[in-house]
Amino acid sequence: EVQLVESGGGLVQPGGSLRLSCVASGLNFNGLTFSNYFMHWVRQAPGKGLVWVSRIFGDGSDTSFADSVKGRFTVSRDNAKNTVYLQMSSLRVEDTAVYFCVTGFPGYSLGYWGQGTLVTVSS
């Protein structure tokens, strides 16, 4: 069974920083391992829709970000630990959301989802 477990969410003041982690398990099947998967971060503000945030290649060699977080967020991964990270800085009130870690999937889509971790930016 594939499991993605996010952690690191919490309450932070505007302008602060936070690092989210996502540990994956159960991805070793069909000849694939964690390092074969793109990994994405998607967020959802309270009562709002899904917003794509970031993607990182399986080997970590390329990253991309939504315009709303570009220059403030970075993404990285440690394939030896089956873990992906989202480093968030210069946080704004509008970054308040549940952040989901998601695997990439064939056809430029999303596959397996974590349960999410809540980030609240407030003074």
Partner 1 sequence: QTMVTQEPSFSVSPGGTVTLTCGLSSGSVSDTDFPSWYQQTPGQAPRTLIHSTKTRSSGVPARFSGSIVGNKAALTITGAQADDESDYYCMLYMGSGNWVFGGGTKLTVV
Q: What CA–CA distance (Å, rounded) separates 41 from 102?
A: 6
Task: Tell which one of 96, 112, 118, 120 touches partner 1 (CB under 8 A).
Answer: 112
Closest CA to 104 of 77, 80, 69: 77
Rounded to an integer, what is the distance from CA 119 to the centroid of its chain? Answer: 12
Q: What CA–CA distance (Å, rounded) separates 73 from 53?
A: 9
Q: How far is the CB of 123 from partner 1 (least distance, A)?
A: 27
Give residue for tokens 């977080």: 69
| Residue 5 sits in the site that holds partner 1 (CB under 8 A) | no
Q: Which CB, 48 or 80, lies closer to partner 1? A: 48
| Residue 106 sits in the site that holds partner 1 (CB under 8 A) | yes
Q: What CA–CA distance (Å, rounded) separates 77 from 56?
A: 8
| Residue 113 sits in the site that holds partner 1 (CB under 8 A) | yes
Site for partner 1 in 13-72 (CB under 8 A): 40, 42, 49-52, 55, 62-64, 66-67
Q: Which CB, 13 or 25, lies closer to partner 1? A: 25
Q: Which CB, 14 or 115, lies closer to partner 1? A: 115
Q: Which CB, 15 or 26, lies closer to partner 1? A: 26
Q: What CA–CA distance (Å, rounded) separates 61 from 38?
A: 11
